[in-house]
Amino acid sequence: MIVRGVVWHLPSELWDDLNTDVILPSPYLRVPEPELGDYAFQNHLPGFTERLDGASVVLGGTNFGCGSSREQAVKALLQCGVTLVVAESFGSIFFRNGLNLGLALIRLPGTRSQPALAAGAEVSADLSTGIVTGVGGTAEGQPLPKTMMNIIRAGGILPLVRENPLVLG
């Protein structure tokens, strides 16, 4: 499965240990789902969607999405148009929430120093191999298992189960 988009880098103060409380602050947890993107990074990067300027690939460091288990943080990113997050590592609950909601995720060491992932670069990420290719070259991350790619391809675990109720056995 291939995901394409333009890269946007998190600012250095949010690079590592990005907490879900920062992605979507608690006062906005109860807003209607289609509006969650309006409040992404509200306390640190107001106007996040505009800051993305059409980019759909967010690049971060270690422990992206650590903290509380709020799936609304993933939904907020999706509502902003983010289709892929590339990071050195993810908080485990964020990783599962991301996949279950259809957000593509790649673990890739040394994200900050990868020429292929320059800010503003158009990239192509092959989830089956973990390889991200851009004008600056290629970077090799961890591939996703076929089951996880099927969940992302379907737009999340609920759409996958609705499409094929026997998928869970």
Total count of domains within the chain: 1
pLDDT in tens, 102-136: 999 999 999 888 888 999 999 999 999 999 999 89
Domain CATH for 123: 3.20.19.10
Q: Which domain holds residue 89?
A: 2-168
Contact by Cβ (8 Å): 40, 72: no
Structure tokens at 80: 């902003």
How far apart are the C-alpha atoms of 90 and 107, rounded to whole Å?
7
Residue 21 gets which letter from DSSP?
H
The residue with greater pLDDT, 117 or 165, is 117
Q: Tell me: the pLDDT tens digits for 29-56?
A: 999 999 999 999 999 999 999 999 999 9
CA atoms within 13 A on the CB side of 69: 5
What pLDDT is stored for residue 18 in this prediction? 97
Query: 131-153 pLDDT, tens per residue?
Result: 999 989 999 999 999 999 999 99
This prediction's pTM: 0.94
Per-residue confidence band for 169, with pLDDT thresholds at 50, 70 and 90: low
